[in-house]
Amino acid sequence: QAVLDALKELGTKQSEASRKLADHTVDHLSNQVKSSVDEFRKAAREQVAFNLAGYMDNFSRSLANEVRVLIKEVGDLREARRSMHYELAELL
């Protein structure tokens, strides 16, 4: 009977130790998952900011090209107007 009682007590202690180990493992893994998710979110926010900055750079370059074309067209129109004024002055 003493051996059976000792085995039951040993089984109870091992069961309790296994439960504690499982609880500790679950806590540790949930903390790891939370930490990983936080890192992924941080990286995603940085990536969005980087993508937005790249988009803005491309937009600025495209806009700069359009502005250059418009300035050239305005210069051409001024030159044409000046030559028309000169021709009109010669005719009068």
The reply to whether the predicted model has a pTM over 0.85 is no
Cα dist from 62 to 12, 37, 65, whole Å: 74, 37, 5
Predicted pLDDT of residue 24: 92
Average pLDDT, the chain: 87
Which ranges constitute the DSSP H helices of the chain? 2-91
Region 13-21: what's the mean pLDDT? Answer: 89
Look at residue 14 and tell me whether its pLDDT is greater than 80.
yes
**Which of 48-52, 70-74, 78-82 bottoms out in mean pLDDT, i.e. has the lowest?**
48-52
